A and B are shown apart, each in its own frame.
Chain A
Amino acid sequence: MKKKLHHLISEELSEKETDEIMGALVTQQMNAELRQRLAHTLKEKHGIIRSAERGNGKIKYLNYMLAIAASITVLIALVFYPNWAGDSPQVLAQQYLSEQPLSHPGTFKGATVVDEQRTQAIVAFNQGDFTKAATHFNALEAPTAEDRYYLGLAYLKNGDYEQAVPLLVESKTKGKRFTQEAQWFLGLAHLALGNTESAINELKAIGKDEWKYKEAVSLLEQIH
């Protein structure tokens, strides 16, 4: 790719050669943007996600392994301690969080500010490396509301619930874009921290037509 860029700027190319290289680069750029939009539409309108993004080496299966490990732990606990899950809101929250696939849809069409930190944060987030994602999101000089929300999610998935809470509160209260998602995740964060009363308040505030309403009702029943 870099070779193509160098070729494009460093040599006296004919119009035909320039068109070939520019055509390939513009197509790649626009295809990447189209993929992001399609992935977003698939996720939001049809509930279809690619699940964990492909990573290299061990991290590739990290999310699956964590989900399986969490499920086995819960299963064992349920077999030996039948009332355990019902008495442990923290475990319920962690279970919901481990089962919740999360991916960053990438920079949307029209975004004008490009930041390498943001790109790396998004890549790390989609690879399930939430520590790295949080580091890069934190390093942004001018984080957007979207960056702050995904930083909160990165903390949450990493088990840093205390750090996640203020960011999720911010996402819930500032603007409308992430309100519903932040409401649900805030409930889970409080639950994981053992702040059951706050968790109940957050979960109860989820309206019938809002995201995760059924799950919130089910979770409230399990907490009580």
Chain B
Amino acid sequence: MENKNFGLTQADFDRLVVDLKRNDTFFFEQVFTKQFEETIVYLKREYRADHEDSYDAAMDALIAFRLRFVQGKLSYGNLRFLFTKMASQMYLKSKKNKVQTVDNDLLVNEETVETENREMSLEFNKAWQKLGEGCKDVLTKYYYGKMKLLEIANELSKSPATVRKQKERCVKKMKELISVEI
């Protein structure tokens, strides 16, 4: 069973979910980067994909996997199969996009679309770097870790109302910082 789950036990799996909700990706990085090469080899063999496309698809699958973990959409079972399947889907999707781009003779080419999807906004990034660590922590847990305000409140030993207020203040602060940047 553990072999089907990248060597993770059920307890490891549960810990991974908790870590990711707090945006602690250390364990996630350790476990999944080990599988990266295997996935690249699989994509190259099955789809005759080139190295860069395989790398991108495996990376996209990792990002999508993290989201499913924090959303509670993955269960302990056969993560290896799911991950390979997801990387395959990512690869096929990128190929489909490429074909559509050519067929439709769009002005926005595939490279631009990829860049927009995969990279951060420069203005948002600048604003984000100026935000206080406390705000970053709350916003990251809420928006990226999909934690409920109650969960964050319990973790920070604060009342939910305090955390809600803090989140509102942080969003307001972020809006102010963004308005300076754009």
Which A residues are within 8 Å of any B CB, using their own CB? 1-2, 5-6, 8-9, 18-19, 22-23, 25-35, 37-39, 41-42, 45-46, 48, 50-52, 54, 56, 111-114, 116, 119
Contacts and interface: CB of A to CB of B under 8 A. Distances in A.
Secondary structure of the B side of the interface? helix
Nearest to A6: B182
Contacts of B59: 35, 38-39
Interface of B: 23, 25, 29, 32-34, 36-37, 40, 51-52, 55-56, 59, 62-63, 66-67, 111, 114, 116, 118-126, 128-129, 139-140, 143-144, 171, 174-175, 178-179, 182
Given A9-B178, A27-B143, A27-B144, A46 B36 contact: yes
B182 A48 contact: no
A48 B59 CA distance: 12
9 contacts: A2-B182, A25-B121, A30-B23, A31-B63, A32-B120, A34-B66, A37-B25, A37-B29, A51-B51
B33 A45 contact: yes
Given A34-B63, A38-B62, A50-B55, A5 B123 contact: yes
Contacts, number: 101
B33 A38 contact: yes
Contact of A32 (B37, B67, B118): B118
A30 B29 contact: no
B125 A48 contact: no
Contacts of A1: 116, 121, 124
A6 B181 CA distance: 11
B182 to A, nearest CB: 5
Nearest to B110: A54
A113 B126 CA distance: 9
A48 B120 contact: no
Nearest to A15: B168
B55 A22 contact: no
Contacts of B40: 48
